[in-house]
Amino acid sequence: MKIISINAGSSSLKFSLFDMTDESVIASGVFERIGIDGSSYTIKVGKEKTKEIVKLENHIDAVNILLDKLTSMNIIKSLDEIVGVGHRVVQGKDIFDKTVLVDDEVMEKLESIKHFAPLHNPANMEGIRAFQKALPNVPMTVVFDTAFHQTMDETSYIYPVPYEWYTKYGIRKYGAHGTSHRYIAQTISELYGKENLNIISCHIGNGASLAAIKNGKCIDTSMGFTPLAGVMMGTRSGDIDPSILPPVMEKEGKDINQIMDDLNKHSGVLGVSGISSDMRDIEDGVKAGNKDAIRAYKKYVRRIVEYIAQYYVLLGGADVIVFTAGVGENCDILREDVCDYLACLGVKLDLEENKKRGDINKISSDDSKIDVYVVPTDEELMIARDTLNLIER
391 is a domain residue: no
pLDDT in tens, 133-155: 889 999 999 999 999 999 999 99
**Strand order from edge to edge, sheet including 24-32:** 48-53, 40-45, 24-32, 12-19, 2-8, 82-89, 140-144, 100-101
Q: Does residue 345 share a domain with residue 272?
A: yes
229 is a domain residue: yes
Q: Does residue 352 share a domain with residue 227?
A: yes
- The confidence score (pLDDT) of residue 197 equals 98
- pLDDT bin (cut points 50, 70, 90) of residue 358 is confident
pTM for the model: 0.92
Write down the catalytic residue from 145, 332, 371, 386.
Answer: 145
- The confidence score (pLDDT) of residue 300 equals 97
Q: Domains in the chain: how many in total? A: 2
What does the alpha-carbon distance between residue 163 and residue 216 come to, in Å, rounded to a whole number? Answer: 29
Q: Does residue 221 share a domain with residue 362?
A: yes
Q: Does residue 281 share a domain with residue 349?
A: yes
Q: Does residue 347 share a domain with residue 208?
A: yes
Q: Does residue 198 share a domain with residue 127?
A: no
149 is a domain residue: no
Closest C-alpha to 4, from 17, 14, 21:
17
**Number of neighbouring beta carbons within 10 Å of residue 164:** 9
Q: Does residue 207 share a domain with residue 317?
A: yes
For 287, the 3-state DSSP assignment is helix
172 is a domain residue: no
- The confidence score (pLDDT) of residue 53 equals 93
What does the alpha-carbon distance between residue 6 and residue 386 come to, in Å, rounded to a whole number? Answer: 13
245 is a domain residue: yes
pLDDT in tens, 68-115: 999 999 999 999 999 999 999 989 999 999 999 999 999 999 999 888
Q: Does residue 346 share a domain with residue 280?
A: yes
Given a contact cutoff of 8 angstroms between Cβ atoms, the answer to whether 33 and 11 are in contact is yes
What's the CATH code of the domain at 246?
A: 3.30.420.40
Full domain range(s) for residue 49:
2-144
**Read out DSSP for 46-111?**
TTEEEEEE----SHHHHHHHHHHHHHHTTSSS-GGGEEEEEEEES--TTT-SS-EE--HHHHHHHH
What does the alpha-carbon distance between residue 25 and residue 13 come to, in Å, rounded to a whole number? Answer: 17
Given a contact cutoff of 8 angstroms between Cβ atoms, the answer to whether 178 and 144 are in contact is yes
The last residue of a domain, from among 84, 110, 144: 144
Closest C-alpha to 385, from 183, 159, 153, 108:
183
pLDDT in tens, 307-320: 999 999 999 999 99
Given a contact cutoff of 8 angstroms between Cβ atoms, the answer to whether 174 and 119 are in contact is no
182 is a domain residue: no
Q: Does residue 229 share a domain with residue 134?
A: no
174 is a domain residue: no
In the predicted structure, residue 392 carries a pLDDT above the cut 90: no
Residue 145 known to be catalytic: yes
Partner residues linked to 213 by β-bridges: 199, 218
pLDDT in tens, 53-65: 999 988 999 999 9
Q: Does residue 121 share a domain with residue 256?
A: no
Q: Does residue 335 share a domain with residue 241?
A: yes
Q: How distant is the alpha carbon of residue 56 from its chain centre?
A: 26
163 is a domain residue: no
Closest C-alpha to 392, from 23, 180, 84:
84
Residues in the chain: 393
- The confidence score (pLDDT) of residue 257 equals 93
